[in-house]
Chain A
Amino acid sequence: MKSAFAKRESRSGMIFTIPAALIMLGLVVYPMLYGFFISTQKSNLIDKWEFVGAKYYIQLLTDAEFFGTLKTTAIFAACVVIGNLFVGLLLAVLVNQKIPLMNIFKVILMLPWLFPEVVVALIWKWLFSPLFGMFNYVLFSLNLIEKEVDVLGQPGTAFVGVVFVCIWKGYPIVMLMMMAGMKNIPHERYEAAAIDGANKWQQFLNVTLPGLMPVLLVASILETAWWFKHFTIVWLMTGGGPAGATELISVDIYLQAFTNFNFGRAAAESVIILFLLMVVSFIYSRVLRDESQ
């Protein structure tokens, strides 16, 4: 039997939790439930609401184009996340060295993250322009091409182009997280490894990487969720083209809602993406947790 004090303490705990719980309900749970509700409606979101049940889910799950878009999105997200983790980790290791003026390099390397995505997209769109862009100018100057290369005009190069720009924009935050993670690895471990005769590469593999696993887990989940839903840079650089080569799920959701005026189907796509990302996050946490153990 609980004492009166324990009961009172338990009640106090619950009372103190209520404000946070209400905020969570209002800002997280309600929008998600509302999104699910919209996915079951044919609606203009103002004064027309018609229950259609799972119609949009069935439409989507039997639509080959939707799965094509999902595949494009998955490849895009995988390329960008891997690229960000690789570049971010590499640069974090480099700037972690004791080299003069390294702070200046750190600031320069952080700059892409500070630019708004709209600015990044427009800058690179112009750099890739076959008529006025620096990219073609450099290739011409080096006699590497004889005819303008329309990077964003061909499906293969357009996909590579947007992935490159997204990595350029996204690696600094990974680099920052890795740098923070490295600071948390006790120096004694490196000393012990050195005494055991480990060289720099072995120290990186056996001390740095395992020490960074918790950061890698967080970075991987955040990055995957972020780039799977990414919209701005791709929309502004290619609009999902050419010929659908860069049409991501976020672009499709936007088009469904605001071009096709089909909010129900757009919401259904969003709900499916939510579940997909929850599954991906779960897999990440299992795989990376096991490895770290």
Chain B
Amino acid sequence: MQLTRTRVGISRKAIAAGIATALLIGGIGSISAEAATKKPAAKVTKKPAAKPAAKPAGAKELNEFLTPTCPAKPTTLTIASAVILEKPGGLADQGNADNFMKACPNVKVVFIGIPSNNLPEKLTTMAIGGNLPDMYMHFTSFTGKALQMRIFEDLIPLLGQDYVDGFDPLFLGEAIQGGKLLWAPWVAIPMAVAYRKDLWEAAGIKTFPKTWDEFLDVAKKLTVDTDKDGKMDQYGWAMVGTPNGSGAGRFHSVVLNSGAYNLKEDTNGKFISGASLKGYETALQLYGDAIKAGVVPPGHTTTGYPEASAQLATGKAVMMVTGPHTMGIAVTQNPSLKGKLGGFPLPTANGTKPITTLGQHGYAVSRSSKNKEVAAAYIKFMLSTKQILVYNELEYRLPSRLKAQADPQVAGGMAAGFVGALKGNVWSDSTASFLGSVVKVDYDAYSEMFLGKKTAAELAKEADVKIKKLIADNA
């Protein structure tokens, strides 16, 4: 090849310097990319159910599972995790592994870090390639694909029915499919509204908004030019407007609380679209109105979960539709916020009982794993009250185990509003394997709403047509 042999006059030293600079900047960029990982979509579905009152589980749990039965020979347990990459949650994940390895010195726990927004795709690729690790993190949005690929081990026989009974039934409602426990629930992030108490009080607001109209009014009051330089520097709503699962999950929570949904299964198990319901249009209209009213910081179309969390942490915005984990992230970014954040249930279209989503995740054991018993021991260890409360303390996520839920740390303090949100109705996700495409329909709809070229009614109609086409194509 003549071209490649031709000298082009760049000296070797100069090339070396260029490559070194690029590698250095590339390294920094990679770290930034990792730090910018986002949370997955909130989940969708039917089955409203009231959260049962917490009841204490067996008192023996605390001691029993902190001293696991260790394997006789050296074992490496591989775990695909999204939490391990996150701050501060990764500390809990790593802490579980470190403590387990202390308890079982012949077990080596190796994490495979995968950003949560990429987890379904990576797991799908791993499953197809036959490279699934012993355990993998399961978000409910992955349920449809996991069922299609049949990659999970039923955890009921592995963990034992007595142990399974110690989970909150609300969590099990999503994790048990066809009589099989697909994953061991770890924590949940009930969707509500996180807010800055200090800025809220400074604005003199006394009550939480019950309807979306009130929410918009409050957002307007919180949008102020604090330094009187003619430019707004505090906004009411840190809206996640990116076209991805993080944005769509939050939008769907607004849809649910406006009286609609995107996709669900009817009583005959048939998928039906809910975008033709008035609530879908109402939710789109709210998004459009909020942008028009200027209560959302500029750049909403590229404001993802990390950016919106940063807006809350820095006081650039005061409210955010999210789960309690955002408070953990905000406090990590700005430690002075400890005690200054709170949550309240999502408003609804007409002030009725709000609906939240669990947004739970946990660990599944691969059907192909050769270390299923060790994986089961690890799950029980990490879900022991002591270990699970570490994660709760860091990110305010609601533990899945009834015994841990009874701890005063869980329902008090900044997390109270989020735990309170579970007193309303809870929607679980659909198990459609094409749910991801339905989520895309949602974010396409609000992305177009931002442009203001079509009405909410037109966009809702288009979304309905698209969802029905997806149902037909995937029948």
Interface on A for B, CB 8 Å cutoff?
44-48, 59, 102-104, 106-108, 110-111, 114-116, 118-119, 122-123, 125, 128-131, 147-148, 150, 152-155, 176-177, 179-181, 183-184, 215, 218, 238-244, 255, 258-262
Contact = CB atoms under 8 A, between A and B. Distances in A.
Contacts of A183: 6-8
A150 B302 contact: yes
| Interface core residue of A119, A181, A243 (most chain B CB under 10 Å) | A243
A116 B404 CA distance: 45
Q: Is the interface of B mostly helix, strand, loop or mixed?
A: helix
Contact of A242 (B8, B22, B127, B450): B450
Nearest to A104: B14
A34 B439 CA distance: 30
Contacts of B4: 180
A154 B451 contact: yes
A7 to B, nearest CB: 33
Contacts of B21: 111, 114
Contacts of B124: 258, 261
A180 B299 contact: no
Contacts of B440: 255, 259
Interface in B408-452: 433-434, 436-437, 439-440, 443-444, 447-448, 450-451
Given A119-B25, A261-B148, A103 B33 contact: no
B360 to A, nearest CB: 21
B3 A153 contact: no
Interface of B: 2-4, 6-11, 14-15, 17-19, 21-23, 25-26, 29-30, 32-33, 36, 120-121, 124-125, 127-128, 144-145, 148-151, 242-244, 297-302, 307, 316, 433-434, 436-437, 439-440, 443-444, 447-448, 450-451, 470, 473-474
Contacts of A111: 18, 21-22
22 contacts: A44-B149, A103-B9, A106-B9, A108-B18, A110-B18, A111-B21, A115-B26, A116-B29, A122-B32, A152-B301, A153-B302, A153-B450, A154-B451, A180-B4, A239-B242, A243-B447, A243-B448, A255-B437, A255-B440, A258-B436, A259-B437, A261-B436
Contact of A44 (B3, B32, B148, B439): B148
A150 B301 contact: yes
Contacts, number: 156
Nearest to A48: B148
Contacts of A102: 9
Contacts of A255: 436-437, 440
Contact of B3 (A122, A152, A180): A180
A239 B436 contact: no
B295 to A, nearest CB: 15
A106 B30 contact: no
| Interface core residue of B3, B121, B127 (most chain A CB under 10 Å) | B3
Nearest to A151: B302
A125 B306 CA distance: 14
A153 B14 contact: no
| Interface core residue of A46, A122, A179 (most chain B CB under 10 Å) | A46
Contact of B451 (A128, A131, A155): A155
Nearest to B299: A130
Contact of B33 (A106, A118, A155, A215): A118
B366 to A, nearest CB: 12
A110 B20 CA distance: 13
A261 B148 CA distance: 9
B3 A177 contact: yes
A168 to B, nearest CB: 14
A116 B22 CA distance: 8
Nearest to A56: B473
Given A241-B443, A259-B437, A262-B434, 10 more contacts: A44-B149, A116-B26, A119-B29, A130-B299, A131-B316, A153-B299, A181-B3, A184-B3, A240-B243, A242-B243
A111 B23 CA distance: 10
Contacts of A152: 301-302
A107 B148 contact: no
Contacts of B22: 111, 114-115
Contacts of B6: 180-181, 183-184
A106 B440 CA distance: 43
